Amino acid sequence: MSNYGSDFSHAQYNDYSDSLNSMAHKIAVEVYDENFTNTLTSKYTDCNCIGFSGESWYRFAHKDATKFKAINKLTKYLGIELEEVLAFGDDYNDIEMLKHCHGIAVANAIIEVLLK
């Protein structure tokens, strides 16, 4: 059994040769050829592509869908400052959030997070 569990019955598989015909909030893709990642990045220009360190998995999500933007909206709604937020992270998609809040890199964080 993998770290992600064994039940992938909810997953939808697509070779991405055609554009998606439905709305997606986030796409996680396992890519064995980095050129294919470049193809997807150029095809879905409104998305950011973030690789998971040490893996062949990539996350595609809308450029406006970041952890920092979510925290920023929450702080405004709650009437608190970013300096009052404690954030934990370990990978590339956490760096922006950790830079703007009281950021804590967890023990297994990648070097780029540790150096934030």
Per DSSP bridges, beta strands 102-105 and 86-89 are: parallel
Mean pLDDT of 6-27: 67
Mean pLDDT of 33-58: 82
Between CA 10 and CA 21 the distance in angstroms is 18
Q: Which residues lie below 8 Å from residue 46, measured CB to CB, with a gap of 6+? A: 62, 63
pLDDT digits 0-9 by tens, 28-40: 788 888 788 888 8
Residue pointed to by tokens 């998995």: 57
Radius of gyration of the chain (CA): 16
pTM: 0.61
pLDDT digits 0-9 by tens, 66-116: 899 999 999 999 999 999 999 999 988 899 999 999 999 999 998 989 987
